[in-house]
Amino acid sequence: MRTPSSPPYIGTAGWSISSAAASHFPHAGSHLQRYAQVLGCVEINSSFYRPHQPATYARWAASVPDTFRFSVKLPRSITHERRLRDCAAELDRFAGEVMQLGNKLGCVLVQLPPSLRFEADVAAEFFNTLRQRFDGMLACEARHPSWFAAGATELLTMQGITRVRADPPAGQPGPHVPTTAVAYFRLHGSPRIYYSDYSTEHLAALATQLAQSAHPDSWCIFDNTAAGAALFNALELQCQLGGNSV
């Protein structure tokens, strides 16, 4: 059981371990098994592009410690193709797959296309439908400015949907306004998205923000994976928060 003094979930998008980072992880086991011995969570992005068999999710769940958690990205067929409309059948299929993670399913991530405007009726119906299938943490990374206005903030707050705090922020016109007590950071790399490394100073400031949030179920995912920076940034941040050292 996590307590208020527990560190937040820190991990990366995917669990591939590069040769450069291999010395920070155990040598035996699959990449996921090795990764999960050091970091406490991972974000599955491949589910955005293609479905995985329920048996695959069950195998992944069996590969990690009891305290490990997965965040799973909602398929693009729901967010980008159907654009949140009439997607009950797709949500049923997705739920049937990912529920094989059991209590190791920590979050469902909804990433919206930059072109998708906030429509209150559509968003309310969609999140109601999603919540009927998942009673755990739901996080939304919206990228159109309309999703940061008062109406969207009110709906996300009422529905208990965590507004993702992204770097660099897309569509967000001003300071981040949280919608739940729990935070979900997605760090894509800045200034060069997916590539840029984060400095020790940036990570120290992030560690302070996470420590001040005082919520043990907050997440911080590094998505700057293209040049291998994500694992090193996650390890350094974990060290700054008092976890395993790099």
pLDDT tens figures, 116-170:
999 999 999 999 999 999 999 999 999 999 999 999 999 999 999 999 999 999 9
Average pLDDT over residues 195-204: 96
Query: pTM for the whole thing?
Result: 0.95
Task: Write down the residue that tokens 């920590």 correspond to.
Answer: 106
- Report whether 140 contacts 164 (CB < 8 A): yes
The number of residues making up the chain comes to 246
Res 77 pLDDT > 60: yes
Res 3 pLDDT > 60: no
Which pLDDT does position 5 carry in this prediction?
54
* Residue spans per domain, the chain: 9-240
Which pLDDT does position 214 carry in this prediction?
61
Which of the four pLDDT bands, split at 50, 70 and 90, describes residue 7?
confident
Give the tokens for residue 118: 């906030």
Quick one: CATH architecture of 9-240? Alpha-Beta Barrel (3.20)
Amino acid identity, position 151? G
In angstroms, the Cα distances linking 232 to 15, 18, 50, 133, 204 are 12, 10, 28, 35, 14
pLDDT tens figures, 19-57:
999 999 999 999 999 999 999 999 999 999 999 999 999
Res 246 pLDDT > 50: no
